[in-house]
Structures are given as C-alpha cells and as structure tokens.
C-alpha cells in the first residue's frame, strides 16, 4: 500500500504541470473559410475553419522536428498545390513557448490584418496590419502556460 500511495502522490504532483501548458489557436474572422494543417515531424489532416470558427491545439513539443507549424491557406488542398500560405509556428521549450509568423509562396492574407496575441498581456504580440510580413524577425516568446492566438482578418492590430 505504501508504494501505491507514493505513485498516486507522484502522479498528482505532475498533474499541475500537464495542465499548465497553454494552447495554440487560430481564429477565423474572415468572411471565407481557411484551411489548416498542423505540421511537425508529420503532416496532420486538413482542417477547414469556417468564418467565425476556431482551431485549437494544446501546445506540445514535437520529438522529430522540435516545433509545430500551423500552415494556413485560403484554398482547399493549398498545402499540396503551391498556394500561398501563412505559417503560425511555435516551439515549446520547458517553461517557454517561442512563436512566430511567416509567409511561404506569397502572402495568403494580403490586405487583411493578422495578429498573434498571447493570453499573457505582458508578452509581445505580432501585428501584420495589411497581412504582409514587416521586415525583421517575427519571433517572440512567452510563458508556456499562455495561450497564443492567431487572429486572421483581424479588425485591427
């Protein structure tokens, strides 16, 4: 019985660590659907996010690649046909989550504001006022227990 009590106590002590990890969110404020793939060491299935819809995944470390890229296109099957894509990437590193925003093959959301906003208001946000990356690094960091949200077609930054 002593061993069982020790195991239960150990598992109970770890529970707050598991729940302390935040979430990555993509919120579609656009008036059109968007298409998302969660990519780490492998490519997840295509997810359609309808207008006013949200995609959420718990922040996690990918053992093969180290990080995750949420790849977003404005066209179905866009990951596989060379469409412009916006990549919202994160890396969970201990008590820190690193996050960034970038475009590949063009600017999928040109003319539409994009912003990345952590739930911890002391952490830096990323703002693309016209949907195009400004010059300079877009990499930021925050505490791993923060939610990090990408707002597509945001009202403002």
Residue 29 maps to which CATH number? 2.60.110.10
147: helix, strand or coil: coil
- Report the alpha-carbon distance of residue 131 to residue 114 in Å, rounded: 6
Q: Is residue 157 part of a domain?
A: no
As for how many domains the chain has, the answer is: 1
Average pLDDT, the chain: 89
Range of the domain at 131: 21-152
Tens digit of pLDDT for each residue in 81-131?
A: 999 999 999 999 999 999 999 999 999 999 999 999 999 999 999 999 999
In this structure, the chain runs to a length of 157
**What's the chain's Rg over C-alpha atoms?**
17
- Report the alpha-carbon distance of residue 134 to residue 15 in Å, rounded: 40
- Token pair, residue 154, equals 């945001």
Give yes or no for residue 135 having a pLDDT over 90: no
4: helix, strand or coil: helix
Give yes or no for residue 152 having a pLDDT over 80: yes
């Amino acid at each position: 019985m002593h061993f069982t009590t020790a195991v239960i106590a150990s598992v109970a002590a770890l529970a707050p660590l598991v729940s302390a990890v935040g979430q990555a969110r993509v919120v579609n404020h656009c008036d059109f659907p968007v298409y998302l793939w969660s990519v780490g060491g492998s490519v997840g299935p295509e997810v359609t996010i309808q207008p006013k819809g949200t995609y959420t995944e718990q922040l996690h470390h990918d053992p093969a690649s180290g990080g995750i890229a949420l790849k977003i296109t404005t066209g179905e099957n866009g990951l596989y046909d060379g469409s412009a894509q916006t990549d919202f990437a994160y890396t969970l590193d201990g008590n820190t989550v690193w996050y960034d925003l970038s475009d590949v093959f063009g600017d999928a959301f040109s003319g539409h504001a994009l912003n990345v906003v952590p739930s911890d208001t002391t952490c830096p946000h990323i703002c693309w006022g016209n949907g195009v990356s400004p010059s300079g690094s877009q990499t930021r960091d925050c505490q791993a227990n923060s939610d990090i949200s990408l707002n597509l077609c945001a009202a403002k930054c």
